[in-house]
Each structure stands twice: as structure tokens, then as C-alpha cells.
Amino acid sequence: MTKEIILDVSLLQPPLPMEMAMDATEKLKPGKYIKMVHRMQPHPLYNILLDNGFRYKIKQSNDLFEIFIWIATDKTTGELIKELIKKE
């Protein structure tokens, strides 16, 4: 079963959102994903994620961004996230 880890950094100032995201990815295991809620797109984070074996999808909801992060080799979780984004 896939588990969601919610990381709401929408009220935090840099560099805390980046630091918290990186800490959360260190604990990520197959079958789990991070749903990071942010007030802006953390563009520097995206390349760091890709370079470290993660994938991400972005969904904008009103004035917030939801960044879904999972392990690149975890295809099942990646497919689940794609479906979640389509449904909402």
C-alpha cells in the first residue's frame, strides 16, 4: 500500500523548505511519496531531485503548488501519482 507523507512548507522562508524536502527524501522508501505543499515552485529543488534518483510531478491548486516526489525506480508509486493528479 502506498503511503503519503505531507510536507507543508507554504509558510516557511528559504532555505527551510529545501532543507525539509531533502531530509524527507532521505527517509523515502518504495511505496511512499512526499506531497510537498509550497506557495511557489522551488525550481532549484527539481534538478537536485532528478540528480539523486527521484521523480516529481507538480499540480497547482489555487495559489499553492503541490509537488509529488517519489523514488524514480518505484514505477507503481509513479503511476499512482499520475492517476491522483488526473482525478483532482
CATH number at residue 24: 3.30.110.40
Is residue 52 domain-resident? yes
3-state secondary structure of 17: helix
pLDDT, position 86: 87
And the C-alpha cell for 64?
A: 499553492
Q: Give residues with Cβ within 8 angstroms of 13, minimum separation 6.
A: none
Question: Is residue 87 included in any domain, yes or no?
Answer: no
**Is the CB of residue 55 less than 8 Å from the CB of residue 69?**
yes
Lowest mean pLDDT among 3-7, 66-70, 82-86: 82-86
Tell me the pTM. Answer: 0.94
Q: Is there a contact between 62 and 36 (Cβ–Cβ < 8 Å)?
A: no
Cα-only R_g, the chain? 12
Give a yes or no: residue 30 inside a domain. yes
Average of per-residue pLDDT values in the chain = 95
Q: Percentage of the chain with pLDDT > 90?
A: 91
Average pLDDT, integer, range 56-65: 94
Total count of domains within the chain: 1
Domain range for residue 47?
3-77
Q: What percentage of the chain carries pLDDT values higher than 70?
A: 97
